[in-house]
Homo-oligomer: A and B are copies of this chain.
Amino acid sequence: MQQAHALDALFQALADPARRGMIARLCRGPASVSELGKPFEMTLSAVAQHLQVLEASGLVRSQKLGRVRTCRLEAKALERVDRWLSARRASWETMQPRAKLEAR
């Protein structure tokens, strides 16, 4: 699998509550760096570093206009995660009708 590295970065990016919070916020529309950081007790520096992780994973894209950097969600990245999950579900469902009855 060539995109193994991409999935690593995606899941890793989502493995932090602050980063998931930022994603949740961005789902409701674009936001600046300080706006994204407001809900968290964290220096702006830390927020920027989380944002770097998110951008590196492809989940977020941003552009600077004046002194404000505006971030927006890259839905394609979330879809990629979803596709991996669907593939697992598919093979689970075709293979495990027995295990479901037996479960517990």
Contacts and interface: CB of A to CB of B under 8 A. Distances in A.
Interface of A: 1, 4, 7-8, 11-12, 14-17, 20, 23-24, 27-30, 72-73, 75, 78, 81-82, 84-85, 88-89, 91-92, 95-96, 99
Contacts of A30: 99
User: What secondary structure prevails in chain A residues at the interface with B?
Assistant: helix
Contact of A81 (B4, B85, B95): B85
Copies of the chain in the assembly = 2
7 contacts: A8-B16, A11-B11, A11-B12, A15-B15, A24-B91, A27-B95, A30-B99
Contacts of A1: 17
